[in-house]
Amino acid sequence: MPPLTVREGDTVRAGQVLARVGNSGNSSEPHLHFQLMDGPGPDTARGVPFTWRGIGVPRGGEVFDAPEPAPTAPA
């Protein structure tokens, strides 16, 4: 499992590293699953929309290199 840098219930901000991408389980490529919600309860929270900025989304075997984010000061 990739090392996470946030925990369930943490508030995150744009540009913050969430985890390192890895390849575990039944997958052919490194990937990360995540979900944004407006509260902690899975039965009462609603999904929060998001958009990617600064990088694209790979399609159909396209090679995808994302630049390492610049270090940020702790909040």
Integer Cα distance of 14 and 37 in angstroms: 15
Query: For 43-70, how does the pLDDT look when each residue is reduced to its tens digit (9 = 90+)?
Result: 999 998 877 666 666 677 677 666 666 6
Q: How far is CA 25 from the centre of its chain?
A: 17
Say whether pLDDT at 72 is over 80: no
The first and second tokens of residue 17, run together, are 């590293």
Q: What is the DSSP string of 7-66?
A: -TT----TT---B--B--SS-SS-B-----BSSS-TTT--B------SS----TT-----
